[in-house]
Structures are given as structure tokens and as C-alpha cells.
Amino acid sequence: MPSDRTLREVAESRGFDVGAAVDADSLRRDASYRTRLAEEFSALTPENALKMGPLRPTPDTYDFRDADAIVNFGRANDTTVRGHALVWHNQTPDWFQSWDYTDDQLRTFLREHVHTVVGRYRRTVDAWDVVNEAVADDGTMRETVWYDAMGEAYVDRAFEWANEVNPDADLYYNDYGADAVNGKSDAVYDLLDRLLDRGVPVDGVGLQLHALGEWPDPASIAENVRRFQELGLDVQITEMDVAFPAGEAPDDALERQAEYYRDVVDVCLETGVDTLVTWGVRDADSWLRSFRDFSERFTGDPLLFDDRNRPKPAYRAVSEALSE
Ligand code: G3I
């Protein structure tokens, strides 16, 4: 029976955070988008605004306008704010391509970047994806500008630098394709185990859970979550969306999608995961519609609200699962 309470009210009544990735332009332009965000979600993640590329238009300058707008919206609506992502191989500044840096210069740049960004949002960002996607799909450490210059230690340093500036923030390692027990999540597990052995201040792991085409098995997600928890880590679902292979959506696609969202919420409740963020508010905002060839490969309606901002069966499924 659909609840007359908003998803946020249902979630908050049991200490659970349901969140959404936020696009700065939609937030600025669209009142109905802002209303949905404030009323239905108790957590938010800036989708792009806190990434290094958007923040660093030139080597010596920062552009915090979009990030400030999103973070301030979160504060104004008493919403948990997750910062994403301090160190990543994608969306590095365009000028990086022509920068002839030494390893030391890159290290100094990264430290200054982490200190400055975490410092600016010391009182307003609750959690950070400090390092994103450092493990390659074959389980090795991903070859990135950071890894090439500093080896695996760039991960350690990034967490230490963030912790130096804000020891109260929750610091996460975030990745995709490591949601269930598999070769990649084994490698992520081993990395986190090494970091903890080295005394690196990691508080948790973010499982992105982009269920695209092949949807990770909920029982295996639960097993994966538990093993990270046994390391003493918190676990969050940080970027969930659910899509079928393009052209293969069954007649009952929306019901199947709703069922999967429900199954994942059940896994969260079973295992004590208290935060699930969807990677966007409405289907129309989804990265799947514009990113590379993903719109040819997957269906473009992966979220809880449709193009016209109306709740979908998936929305009701998440609300009901949290009401039980
Ligand atoms: O802002 C520029 C705009 O000025 C320019 O006109 C336009 C055309 O080139 O590009 C705009 O930047 C785009 C940006 O999204 C903002 O819309 C970038 O090209 C585009 O690559 C970027 O895509 C983002 C993608 O990360 C980049 O890798 C997606 O929105 C975002 O949803 C996606 O999010 C990632 C997470 O951070 C990490 N996990 C996977 C997830 C999905 O790929």
C-alpha cells in the first residue's frame, strides 16, 4: 500500500539515508527538480561539481560556484552531503594534458588540492569519496597519472591528507564492478586490507552499483558487504542505477527494475548498510543518456522518477521496503 509519506520521511524514520547525485544546471534551472530533491532525498552527492576537472580550470585557480550551490542546497535542506571525488583518473583538468610535471610537482599539487577542497567544506561535507576507481577491471592497480608518479602510496597519502584537514569526515574508497563477490571486489578487498594494515585512515567503502545489463546478485552483494564490514569498514551504496541492455527491456521492465531496487534495499537492511544513493534524480538526468555510447548499449530509464518527475514502481518498491 503506497505510503503518503515521502521517501525521505520513510527512510529517516528508520535512520536510513536515501540519496541522489545532483546536477548543478538542473538544480539551478528547475524548481521541480529542487523540490523533489529536498522532499524525497536525505542525502546528496554532487555528480560532477566536486571533481578535479570542474574545480581546477587553471593550475592556480579554483571554480567552486557549482559545488558551493549544491553543498549549500544540501545544508539548507539538512541533507547529508557526500563529496565525490578528490582523486580519480577521469575528469582531470584539461590543462593536465600539456603540463610537463615532475613526480614531486604532481604530489605537491595533489596534496594542495585535497587540503584546499576538504578544508573549504570542513563543516559542510559529511563524507568523501577520497579515491575513486583505483583498481582496474583485471584486479591490478589502475595505471593513472597518480599511480605512475607515486605508486600505490598515492592512495595512502590522499586519505592522510583528507584526514589531516577534517578528521571528523567519513572517508571512503569508491569503485564500480565490485558490488558482488568477484575478481575485482577481491582486489578491492585486498587493497583495503593493505591500507588498514598500513594504518591509513579509511572509514568505509562505496559500492557504486551501476546495474547495467547484468545486475549483480543481491545475495552475493550481501556476502561482499559483510566481508568489508568484518574489516571494520562501513559500506555504502553510492551510485545506484538499474538498466536493461538496449532493445531488451521486457514488457514488465518497470516491475523487474522495482523488484531489483527492493532486493538491494533488503540487502542493506539485512546487513546494516544505512545509505543508498541513486545516480541522479529523474531518468531524464541520467548519465546513461549522454555518456559515450552508453545510450546505445543500455535503456535510459534507470532511476526512481521518470522524465516528468513522477515516482516509478521502483520508487514505491524502495519506500515499501523501508516501511517494513
Ligand atoms: O561541463 C561540460 C560542458 O561545459 C561541455 O559543454 C559538455 C560537452 O562536452 O561536457 C560537460 O562536461 C561533461 C560532464 O559530465 C558534465 O555534464 C563531460 O563531458 C562528461 O564526461 C561528464 O560525464 C560524467 C562522467 O562521470 C565523467 O566520467 C557524468 O555526468 C557522471 O554521471 C559520471 O559519473 C561517474 C562517477 O563520477 C564515478 N562512477 C561512474 C559514474 C558514471 O560514469
Give the domain range for residue 41. Answer: 7-323
pLDDT of residue 80: 98
Measured between alpha carbons, how far is 228 from 302 in angstroms, rounded to an integer?
27
Confidence of residue 124 (pLDDT cuts 50, 70, 90): very high
From the list 40, 47, 160, 239, the catalytic residue is 239
Cβ(234) to ligand 1 under 6 A?
A: no
Confidence of residue 2 (pLDDT cuts 50, 70, 90): low
Cβ(291) to ligand 1 under 6 A?
A: yes
The reply to whether 124 falls in a domain is yes
Residue 1 has pLDDT above 60, yes or no: no
Count the residues in the chain.
324
Nine-digit cell string for 83: 563529496
CATH of the domain at 278: 3.20.20.80
The reply to whether 109 falls in a domain is yes
- With the most atoms of ligand 1 within 8 angstroms of its CB, the residue from 22, 23, 29, 48 to mutate is 48
pLDDT of residue 3: 65
The reply to whether 2 falls in a domain is no
Cβ(47) to ligand 1 under 6 A?
A: yes
Measured between alpha carbons, how far is 125 from 74 in angstroms, rounded to an integer?
9
112 is catalytic: no
The reply to whether 1 falls in a domain is no
Q: What is the DSSP string of 170-227?
A: EEEEEESS-SSSSHHHHHHHHHHHHHHHTT----EEEE--EEESSPPPHHHHHHHHHH
Residue 113 has pLDDT above 90, yes or no: yes
The reply to whether 52 falls in a domain is yes
Measured between alpha carbons, how far is 199 from 196 in angstroms, rounded to an integer?
5
Is residue 224 within 8 A of residue 185, CB to CB? The reply is yes
Mean pLDDT of the chain: 97
Strand partners, 275: 17
% of the chain surpassing 90 pLDDT: 98
Nine-digit cell string for 141: 592497480
pLDDT of residue 4: 84
148 CA to centre of ligand 1 in angstroms: 24
The reply to whether 97 falls in a domain is yes
From the list 47, 133, 296, 324, the catalytic residue is 133
pLDDT 10s digits, 174-227: 999 999 999 999 999 999 999 999 999 999 999 999 999 999 999 999 999 999
% of the chain surpassing 70 pLDDT: 99
Mean pLDDT of 300-306: 97
Cβ(90) to ligand 1 under 6 A?
A: yes
Q: What is the DSSP string of 228-243?
A: HHHTT-EEEEEEEEEE
pLDDT 10s digits, 81-96: 999 999 999 999 999 9
Measured between alpha carbons, how far is 280 from 291 in angstroms, rounded to an integer?
14
